[in-house]
Amino acid sequence: MSVDTSKIGLAIPGLTLSHGTHSPWEAGVTMDELAAIVRAADRLGYSHIQCAEHIGVPASEAPRRGARYYDPLATFGYFSAITGNIRFLTAVLVLGYHHPLEIAKRYGTLDVVSGGRLTLGLGVGSLKEEFDLLGLGGAEFTERGARGDDALRALRASLGQREPEYHGSYYDFGGLIIDPCAVQNQVPLWIGGRSARSLRRAVELGDGWMPFGLNYDDMTSFLAKARELPSWHARSKPLEIVLRPPGLLDPLGAPDACVEHLRQVYAVGGTKADLYIQSSSSAHFVEQLEALAALEA
């Protein structure tokens, strides 16, 4: 049985250049090359593509975090016009950088123009210098966890609502119109992070958990503890668990290793896999996507 591409999301070359997750050629990738890659991913039935948000990365942090981050809203607006099925995942938007209604309006518009293909990946952030850059130092940073939880509740009350209303501890609004608004009845909210707290936040307030930087033992341990939470059993629908195998996968050069990583993702409890693919050019990346889709799993 071939690999189920509908359960696999992709990091697209060149949109983010961070240490250990990209190949040298990606620094000069063109929009024509990106378009060819995204069209191929759409044609092959992959679940989603991801794009991260950073507004300004301190130069001192660039060697660790990378310096290039395409803006998700503009990038996905372009990709939505040249595809028909693949979904668009922000991985992640930092909740503290935006008012919930700003996200509801801007990304709700993206949901409209893409035909309901938005998934919001969200996190509370960790880069204090970027908070300071945006004038969000002090309490906005130290209380970002509690503020993020309230923002998630506000988003849930706002996305897809023409006249949203919410009254919370940090956000309070009503009596206004958001038009256009998202066309999905419930835009999926996937929570990013690498801590047990991010998983609890996903269980309590989100639709999915998408950790990064964890090994399979960590993933197994976190998920085992989460399944003991009352909030896990109180959920009305299962949690999407979107797990990222370590390193760059090579479907053409090391197909058995790719299959084994996918098996481990699903054995741990993942419902989807988010993959970084090794490549030497845009054409090679497309060949890798085709090879991955043809693997027997």
| pTM, full prediction | 0.96
120: which 2 tokens? 């919001």
Mean pLDDT of 109-122: 98
Q: How far is it, in rounded angstroms, from Cα 91 to Cα 212?
A: 10
- Residue 40: in which H helix or E strand, if any? helix 31-43
Residue type, 295: L
pLDDT in tens, 33-48: 999 999 999 999 999 9
Summarised one tens digit per residue, pLDDT across range 165-181 is: 999 999 999 999 999 99
Q: For residue 297, what pLDDT band results from cuts at 50, 70 and 90?
A: confident
pLDDT at 179: 98
Pairing of strands 172-173, 166-167: antiparallel
Q: Tell me the per-residue pLDDT of 53-84, one tens digit each, with 9 for 90 and over.
A: 988 887 888 787 888 999 999 999 999 999 99
Banded model confidence at residue 1, pLDDT cuts 50, 70, 90: low
Asked whether the beta carbons of 240 and 190 are under 8 A apart, the reply is: yes
**φ/ψ of residue 272, rounded to 5:** -145, 160
**pLDDT: which is higher, 18 or 244:** 244
Say what percent of the chain tops pLDDT 90: 84
Q: What is the CA radius of gyration of the chain?
A: 19
Specify the range with the lowest mean pLDDT, choosing from 127-141, 194-208, 273-287. Answer: 127-141
Amino acid at 284: H
The torsion of the CA quartet 168, 171, 172, 178, rounded to 10 degrees, works out to -120
pLDDT of residue 59: 83
Query: What's the burial of 190, exposed, middle or buried (CB within 10 Å: 0-12/13-18/19+)?
Result: buried
How far is 70 from 92, CA to CA, in rounded Å?
12
Please tell me the CATH code under which domain 5-294 is placed: 3.20.20.30
Counting other chains too, the contacts that 27-32 makes at CB distance below 8 Å and 24 or more residues apart are: 27/68, 29/282, 31/78
Domain spans of the chain, in order of start: 5-294
Output 55 or 286, whichever has higher pLDDT.
286
In this prediction, residue 134 carries a pLDDT of 86
**What pLDDT, on a 0 to 100 scale, did the predictor assign at position 216?**
96
